[in-house]
Structure 1
């Protein structure tokens, strides 16, 4: 992100590591496969990094990257990130400490999510969003405050989001604008941006997922900037 000029992107849409999957420090230190993969058909997915911070470190780290991300975004632009129920309070705090104006939460409901006997199901993830300072109301479509769709069955990333969900979220960026995803993973945000007529900048540390993104986009050229720590 430090290489991106200030005030040059129109929106930030991303899915950072949650550092979740349990209530105790030892739970968070487990592998991403143990924490997030329930079906054995998805256990072939490559582990991803940055997901074992304790709560205090996660809070401080989130504040730091959000602050740097906002530097790259034009005034009034929308920043949004996924989180789960455990990290929802911390994420909304970090968004504000990082300098954004917190605007709301969009639940993503997964009808086939795992049930727990005798308890309400935790089968929602949440898209926390805000703006880079004031945002004037403008003509255009209005997005609903709720999305319902099952998680992808055939996935190339352990926590992959549906392309349709990201296509819907990219509509907060004006057509032809630029979306930044600082945690690109397997490139779903970038693919959605291309499909909806937006440009995209993706940043990803894991070499495997940098290549996965390139492969997914190989037949669909877009404005692509992948930064890999070891590629």
Structure 2
């Protein structure tokens, strides 16, 4: 019989969330089959440039145009693949996630215009049924003189086989308008309100998987919406940030001397 890899020890765990500080493929290989209800994730795009030299820059140089990032905007790894390598890599972890997500569960992953074709191909190569695109429009986008502005990122979504009828489930928008968090702890941190809407298609009390947890926004949204979270983050700095944010939601307060208000509807909580 094949040997099932043992999962690494969790970096953080509480009654509703488990976070690993390890490579996504290593963690995914150890998770049980049909053990989660949805895959919702924001993988590194390997984008942020037009040529090879752009892609090999640090992520801060590629994605950061503001100083409103705590921790000096620590770079994250895995963001230097070309388009072909990116599609192949995505198909690897997406096929592993297909095994882990229950039949009929959904996948929703972010991408930008450069990697949109590779991402939709990889979703289908991984065995998922591609269901469509959800644009995320950013009002505070950078204007582009003499050309169309790149004002949107996209959520590519699909399902693990056939979907149910949808009876009893909410209707969620197929388009979002929201600015990136003004005060954020990750270079590419997504708005909490967008993540919360994506989570609402997951069954109540369901489990959400995010193999690229970053600062933990998917997990924060899952916990606020009454779901359970399983995630991994390879960069230790961001695993620490994600663990703190998950603990804040679980406890309802920060374990520091400065007890700032917890405004999870307003952005980077």
Please state which band the TM-score falls in when normalised by the shorter chain.
over 0.9
Q: Give the Cα separation in 2 of the matches to 1:24 and 1:216.
A: 36
**Aligned residue for 1:212?**
241
**Aligned residue for 1:182?**
211
**Aligned residue for 1:21?**
48
CA contact (8 A) 2:135 2:174 kept: yes
Query: 1:23-172 residue pairs with structure 2 within 5 A?
Result: 23-42=50-69, 44-139=72-167, 140-172=169-201
CA contact (8 A) 2:84 2:118 kept: no
Q: Give the Cα separation in 2 of the matches to 1:219 and 1:156.
A: 15
Q: Give the Cα separation in 1 of the matches to 2:81 and 2:40.
A: 22
Q: Pick the aligned partner of 2:222 from 173, 182, 193.
A: 193
The higher relative CO (CA closer than 8 Å, separation ≥ 6) is in 2
Q: CA RMSD in A?
A: 1.2
3-state SS, counterpart of residue 73 of structure 2: coil
Question: Which sections of structure 2, spanning at least 5 residues, go unmatched?
Answer: 1-27, 252-269
Q: Pick the aligned partner of 2:38 from 5, 11, 15.
A: 11
How many pairs were matched up? 222
Q: Give the Cα separation in 2 of the matches to 1:100 and 1:29.
A: 30
Q: Give the Cα separation in 1 of the matches to 2:49 and 2:31.
A: 35
With the length of structure 1 as denominator, give the TM-score of the two structures. Answer: 0.93
**Deviation of 1:34 (Å):** 0.8
Q: Give the Cα separation in 2 of the matches to 1:219 and 1:35.
A: 30
**Deviation of 1:26 (Å):** 1.4
Q: Give the Cα separation in 1 of the matches to 2:157 and 2:121.
A: 12
**Deviation of 1:22 (Å):** 1.1
Q: Give the Cα separation in 1 of the matches to 2:66 and 2:218.
A: 24
Task: Say which one has the larger Rg.
Answer: 2
**Deviation of 1:137 (Å):** 1.3
With the length of structure 2 as denominator, give the TM-score of the two structures. Answer: 0.81
Q: Give the Cα separation in 2 of the matches to 1:41 and 1:180.
A: 28
3-state SS, counterpart of residue 248 of structure 2: coil
**Deviation of 1:138 (Å):** 2.3
Q: Return structure 1 stretches of 4+ with deviation > 3 angstroms.
A: 40-43
Query: 1:125-179: CA deviations, max 9, x gaps?
Result: 0000000011121212111110001110100000000111101100110110000
3-state SS, counterpart of residue 79 of structure 2: coil
